[in-house]
Amino acid sequence: MHIHVKKDPKELLQAKQWWGKLEMQWKMAFNEAVFKKGTTVELPTDDELMVFLIMVDTLRFAGPGAQYPNMSFQLTNLSGLKGLLRLKYLSITNMNLTSLKELSFHTNLQHLFVNNNKITSLMGIENMTQLVDLYVQCNEITDLTPIKKLTQLKTVYATENNLKTINGFTDAHADVIEKFYVIPNKALRDKEIIKFQNTYGIICHKG
C-alpha cells in the first residue's frame, strides 16, 4: 500500500541531505533490505524517504551468511543509523561490524540483535536503559561491564565470545533477567560461572 505524506519543503530537503551523506554501503543496504530495490544507490522516492525517516522504529539487516538473509553483502559499520532515533528494534547480523559506539544515541532501543559479527566491545550500549533483549553471541567481546545500568534486561545471549569473567551484573539485574546464555566461552572457567550463579542467583545457560 502506497502512503502519501504531506511534505514540508524544508523537511524534504533535510531528508535528502541525510541520504546524500550516507556511505555507499548504507544506501545499498537501505535500498536492498528496506525499499526492496536491490543493491542500488538511487535516491528513494520522496514519499518513501519521508515515511521511512518519520516512522521507522524497526530495522533488520541480515548478511548473506544468515539463515534468512535480506542482504547480499556485509556492512562494516553502523554509520547509516545516525539520526534514526525512533528505533526500538534493531537487528544487524552476520556482518563485519567491530564496534557499537555509533549506537550511543539510540537510547530508545528495546531489542538489539548484533550476533555473528566481529564486535570486540559493548561500549555504545551503556545508556540503553530500556533494553529488554540483547543478542551478542558469536563475536569477540571480552567484557560485559557496559550492561551495568541496563536493569530492564530479560534476555542476554553472549555465547561464543572471548569472556574470561562475567561482569556488569548487579542485584537489580537478578530481579528481572529470565534467560542468560553464556556457555560456551572458551576462556570462561567453571569456577567463574559457579561464583556468578551463587552471587546473583542467575543461571548460566548453554546455547
Average pLDDT, the chain: 95
- Digit-coded pLDDT (tens) for 130-140: 999 999 999 99
Rounded Cα distance, 25 and 40, in Å: 10
- Digit-coded pLDDT (tens) for 169-194: 999 999 999 999 999 999 999 999 99
Distance from CA of residue 24 to its chain's centroid? 20
Neighbouring CB atoms inside 10 A of 104's CB total: 13
CA distances to 25, 137, 167 from 170, in Å: 39, 21, 9
Give the pLDDT score at 1: 40
- Digit-coded pLDDT (tens) for 43-85: 999 999 999 999 999 999 999 999 999 999 999 999 999 999 9
Give the pLDDT score at 8: 81
CATH 3.30.540.10 for domain 56-206: no
- Name the percent of the chain lying above pLDDT 90: 95
Please list the residues that pair with 157 across neighbouring strands.
Answer: 135, 181
Rounded Cα distance, 9 and 16, in Å: 11
Mean pLDDT of 101-105: 97
Rounded Cα distance, 109 and 91, in Å: 11
Convert 40-50 to b/e letters by CB count within 10 Å (16 or more is b): eeeebeeebbb
- Name the percent of the chain lying above pLDDT 70: 97
Q: Where are the domains of the chain?
A: 1-55, 56-206
Strands 89-93 and 155-157, bridge-based pairing: unpaired
Give the pLDDT score at 3: 54
- For residue 91, pLDDT over 60 is answered with yes
- For residue 153, pLDDT over 60 is answered with yes
Strands 179-183 and 205-206, bridge-based pairing: parallel
Confidence of residue 204 (pLDDT cuts 50, 70, 90): very high
Give the pLDDT score at 4: 56
Sheet containing 205-206, strands listed edge to edge, beginning at the edge strand earlier in sequence: 58-62, 89-93, 111-113, 133-135, 155-157, 179-183, 205-206
| DSSP state letters, 88-103 | SEEEEESS-----GGG
- Digit-coded pLDDT (tens) for 14-28: 999 999 999 999 999
